[in-house]
Amino acid sequence: MTDLVLREQRGAAVHLVLNRPDKLNSLNVPLFQALDAHVRDIAAKPAGVAVLVVRGAGRCFSAGHDLGDIAAGERLPEPNFQSKVIERLAALPLPVISAVHGHCYTGALELALAADIILAAESAKFADTHARWAL
C-alpha cells in the first residue's frame, strides 16, 4: 500500500488519511487504489477495529478529483472504479466517520457521504461542482 493513503491505528479506531496535501488531497486513480486496498483489508480483517475515520492531511479533506488527471486521459482499472470503492467503504460493517476540514468538493463530497457520520470543522466547505466542470 502506498503513502497516498496513510493508515493510523489509535486503539480500536483506524484513521485513513488522504495524503496528497501538496495537491489539496485531490483524488486520482492511484489514491483510490490505495484507499480500496485499505478498505478491503479492513473488511477482510475487522478484528480490533471498532470505527473507521477518513480524513485529509494538511489544509483540507479534499478539493475533489484531480482535474489534471482527467485532462491527461486517466485510465480506470475497471468501469465505475471510484464509485465501487466508495460503495465498499459505505458497506463496511462498522461505523465510518468522515472528519472534514477545509474543502470537500465534488468527488470528495461523494467520498465523505459514504460515511455514517460527517464531523465538519467550522472551516469545512462543501460543494458539488460537477456542473461547473461539465461532468
Q: What confidence tens digit (pLDDT) does each residue in 111-123 have?
A: 999 999 999 999 9
Q: Provide the pLDDT for residue 6.
A: 98
> Residues 94-100: what's their mean pLDDT?
98
Q: Provide the pLDDT for residue 96.
A: 98
Residue 130 has pLDDT above 90, yes or no: no
CATH of the domain at 129: 3.90.226.10
Q: Which domain holds residue 91?
A: 5-133
Q: Provide the pLDDT for residue 1.
A: 47
Q: What confidence tens digit (pLDDT) does each residue in 25-80 have?
A: 999 999 999 999 999 999 999 999 999 999 999 999 999 998 777 767 788 899 99
Q: Give the CA dihedral 84, 130, 16, 24, nearest 10 degrees.
A: 150
- In this prediction the pTM is 0.93
Q: What confidence tens digit (pLDDT) does each residue in 15-33 have?
A: 999 999 999 999 999 999 9
Assign 82 to helix, strand or coil: helix
Domain count, the chain: 1
Length of the chain in residues, anyone?
A: 135
Q: Provide the pLDDT for residue 129.
A: 82
Q: Provide the pLDDT for residue 135.
A: 61
Q: Which amino acid is at 35?
A: L
Q: Which of 24, 4, 6 is nearest to 14 (CA)?
A: 6
